[in-house]
Amino acid sequence: MVFGRGRKAKQQQLSETGDTQESAAEGSAADSADGAARGATGPFDVSEIENQDGYVDLGALLIAPQEGLQLRLEVEEATQRVVAVTMDLDGSSLQLQAFAAPRSEGLWDEIREQIGQSVGSQGGQVEEIQGNFGTELVAKLPASGSDESQGYRVARFIGVDGPRWFLRGVLGGEAAVDRDAAAALEGLFRRIVVVRGENPMPPRDLLQLRLPKDSAAPSPKAAPDLEQPERGPEITQIG
């Protein structure tokens, strides 16, 4: 597995609100409903796995290694904060961001609406489709080709609400338009483990990502040595 680090990521905040305070009963009911919909197939909460051995530890996200997978951390230039991780595999990409969420309700319905408004303001179009993770968004944004011809850049947004967290993925390349090409990255998305932490956080705050503690060490089995960072694509512009 190869690591890269984006020099700059244009992070668009999903809007910050004050922290909500729900009763334990509300949280328990929401967690139960979430577990029925997601807990058996992933992505997983850290409380749902036996141990963290074998994962690449990026702080808020644990990533299962796979042969040929490259990871790039995208950094906000002004603050040097890691705001996203992008998984590259077989010519396609999957950008990941995890957010704090309320106990009593999910964020994906509201965030889809916000993504649609953002894409529309940039002259693009969005379409809601049903996929392997429920309702998804396919976004098309105007883009210029190498010969200055006008076309579209396509991205597919997937979202999963977990216990007090929300995980968003943005598929790019062939995976955005071809289900077969997306299969491997979707499989890796299901194996992601989210580490929410116990500290209170306002809903929609980014969960903290970081470089692995030992980014020079090879992972067991599937991953070759990790390399020095390099700049990655700025998919966050359309999110």
pLDDT in tens, 33-54: 444 457 678 999 999 999 999 9
168, β-bridge pairs: 97, 159
pLDDT at 28 over 50: no
How many Å apart are CA 166 and CA 101, to the nearest integer? 6
* Cβ atoms of 144 and 169 closer than 8 Å: no
Q: What angle (nearest 5°) sits at the alpha carbon of residue 40, between those of residues 37 and 43?
A: 80
> Higher pLDDT residue, 218 or 173?
173
Within the chain, residue ranges assigned H as helices are: 24-34, 108-121, 179-190
pLDDT tens digits for 128-169? 999 999 999 999 999 877 777 778 899 999 999 999 999 999
pLDDT at 213 over 90: no
pLDDT at 9 over 60: no
Which letter, b or e, does each residue of 194-230 get, where b requires 16 or more Cβ atoms within 10 Å of its Cβ?
Answer: bbbeeeebebbebbbbebbeebeeebeeebeebeebe
> Which two structure tokens, joined as six digits, stand for 204?
């929609």
pLDDT tens digits for 94-125? 999 999 999 888 999 999 999 999 999 999 99
- CB neighbours of residue 93 within 10 Å: 23
pLDDT at 91 over 90: yes
How many Å apart are CA 205 and CA 209, to the nearest integer? 12
The per-residue pLDDT for 124 is: 95
The per-residue pLDDT for 134 is: 94
Confidence of residue 233 (pLDDT cuts 50, 70, 90): very low
